[in-house]
Amino acid sequence: MKTIKEINEKIRSGDVVVVTAEEMIGIVEDVGPEKAAEEVDVVTTGTFGAMCSSGVFLNFGHADPPIKMLKIYLNGVECYGGLAAVDTYIGATQPNSDPDIDIDYGGAHVIEDLVAGKEVELVAEGYTTDCYPRKKVRTTITLDDINQAILVNPRNSYQTYNAATNSRDEKIYTYMGTLLPEFGNVNYSGAGQLNPLQNDYNRKTKTYNTIGIGTRIFLGGGIGYIIGEGTQHNPDNAFGTLMVKGDLKQMDRKYLRAATIPNYGSTLFVGVGVPIPVLNAEVAKCCAIRDRDIEVPIIDYGVPRRDRPVVARTNYEELRKGKITIEVEIDGKKVEKTIKTSSVSSYKMSREIAKELKDWILKGEFFLTERVDVLGKGSAKPMKSDVKLVGEILSKPPIVAPIGITIEEASRILIKNNINHLPIVDEFGRLVGIITSWDIARAIAQNKKSIEEIMTRNVITTTVNEPVDVVARKMDKYNISGVPVVDKENKVVGMVTSEDLSKLVGYTNKW
């Protein structure tokens, strides 16, 4: 048994033995956890990835005359103004207030610019009082001009993370990056065997051996602290998270980088490294975890619901090979498919962070701290909210027409039923196209002769179990005003139109 006090004495005397989590794997395999615990004092870990739940508290100091700021913008990015007069919080994912810029320059980019020493424009306004007579202020600031800039991240360093794939027949854009159609790729995130929480996790007790509130860490190139379990912390399922804080003025742009995830939003890549004191053999054993020991579920992000299906289960070792073979369902058939894999976080940077922290300790520049309390159990419950499904609002019975119908007959159906959309079906009742009243008008103007000439063949559809919000998103994305509802055999069971959605919104607004 060792103590943190004894380890810190070794750091002072230059006798400390420090290894990275990667190096610890080989040591434990060679000599076993008991001997490894005797030989090694500290294991360093590291992770570097997109950590959206990040941001900075800033204090600007008082203007003359003073102002109580409520609406606050830094380089066009809105900050939270519900604090004291000249305090604010800027979140990493906040988009730009200029719609032409939007997600291309958000809160994360402001944070990186501050760390880089760049000037940032501050625009703020508030209401006037006797002690705060000023209404507006516009100025430029740098990090040196700010009194305090404290990075406080509610959820960082996920212990592990789901991998993502896409079953749809279209490309989709997610916080896990771009996902290609029909299981075209698998994206994953996380440092695996270098991850801080993975290396400190006791799988028997589902707790953490040494990490807790007050643990001193490497954060963004400076020194930071763990201030509690992160939001959505779920150690029972090995999905722990950390809440961390640190002085932005100490940080290095190399380890704190802004990024824009295409068609999704801005985010902040944060470097986190945690030293694990090897107090006993149990700690040493946990620090020898390998990529192949860490299970990673592959989730179908093509299903736009909170509870997405698990397509397969794998591990980090397999994912890092660049391709993986799994069984997937395409067009109702189970097939084996070899899929390319890619990481949306950086293992290379994670390795550098573990090495940098190791060097700090060996040089006597970083000492360990005793935790003042353990991480709590946390909670990862879903939001309590209603969901309205397409099946609750679709028009029944469906009004459809056979593919052999004439344009004149189709126009009569539209007029008789006072509708603007007419799904076209084959002899088995399966959807093959759709026409609208606009198509009819265009057909007459262009002297078209058959339905097949004017119908849209690549029809955007929905199902009775799809949320109404998802259908509204489809209509907006594809600039359409109606979506056929189909069953598993692609037979039309109803129709949802923008008018249906408008009625729904009008009804709900009454409440």
Say how many residues make up the chain. 511
The secondary structure element, H or E, covering residue 228 is: strand 222-229
Contacts of 385 (CB under 8 A, 6+ apart): none
Q: Looking at 2-156, which runs of residues are DSSP E strands?
A: 18-20, 42-44, 47-50, 55-59, 71-74, 77-79, 87-91, 120-125, 136-141, 148-156
CA torsion angle 193 161 110 150 (round to 10) = -70
pLDDT of residue 506: 52
Question: Would you state the pLDDT for residue 510?
Answer: 36
Half-sphere exposure of 250 (CA within 13 A, CB side): 13
Is residue 233 classed as helix, strand or coil in its secondary structure?
Answer: coil
Instruction: Using alpha carbons, select from 375, 359, 426 the residue that is nearest to residue 201.
Output: 375
Domain boundaries, the chain: 4-51+156-373, 61-146, 390-508
Residue 509: predicted pLDDT: 41
Q: In this structure, are residues 112 and 258 in contact, taking their beta carbons and an 8 Å threshold?
A: yes
Structure tokens at 196: 């801080």
Cis before 397 (ω within 30): yes
Tell me if 319 sits within 8 A of 186, measured CB to CB: yes
Is this prediction's pTM over 0.85? yes
- What are the φ/ψ torsions at residue 2 (nearest 5 degrees)? -120, 165
Q: Look at residue 221 and give its three-state secondary structure.
A: coil
- Distance (Å, rounded) from C-alpha 233 to C-alpha 201? 13
DSSP-derived 3-state class of residue 505:
helix
Q: What is the pLDDT of residue 236?
A: 95
Report helix angle 468-478 to 498-509, nearest 10: 130
Residue 449: its pLDDT value, please? 82
Q: Which residues are 120's β-sheet partners?
A: 141
Q: ω before 65 within 30° of 0 (cis)?
A: yes
> What is the SS3 assignment for 195?
coil
Q: What is the pLDDT of residues 460-483, one digit of tens each?
A: 999 999 999 999 999 999 999 999
Are 319 and 296 a contacting pair, CB within 8 Å? Answer: yes
Which of 52, 79, 131, 286 is catalytic? The answer is 131
- Residue 89: predicted pLDDT: 98
The one-digit pLDDT tens for each residue of the chain (511 residues) are 899 999 999 999 999 999 999 999 999 999 999 999 999 999 999 999 999 999 999 999 999 999 999 999 999 999 999 999 999 999 999 999 999 999 999 999 999 999 999 999 999 999 999 999 999 999 999 999 999 999 999 999 999 999 999 999 999 999 999 999 999 999 999 999 999 999 999 999 999 999 999 999 999 999 999 999 999 999 999 999 999 999 999 999 999 999 999 999 999 999 999 999 999 999 999 999 999 999 999 999 999 999 999 999 999 999 999 999 999 988 778 899 999 999 999 999 999 999 999 999 999 999 999 999 999 998 888 888 888 899 988 767 889 999 989 999 999 999 999 999 999 999 999 999 999 999 999 888 888 888 998 999 999 999 999 999 999 999 999 999 999 999 999 999 999 998 888 877 654 443 3
79 as an active site residue: the answer is: no
Distance CA 409, CA 28 (A): 79
What's CA 492's distance to the chain center, in Å?
Answer: 35
Contact (Cβ atoms closer than 8 angstroms) between residue 85 and residue 106: no
pLDDT at 505: 62
Question: For residue 249, which of 73, 56, 47 has the smallest C-alpha distance?
Answer: 56
Q: Which two tokens stand for residue 89?
A: 């919080």
Cα separation, 159 vs 206, whole angstroms: 12
pLDDT value at residue 397: 82
Provide CATH code, domain 390-508.
Answer: 3.10.580.10
Phi and psi angles of residue 305, each rounded to the nearest 5 degrees, phi first:
-130, 165
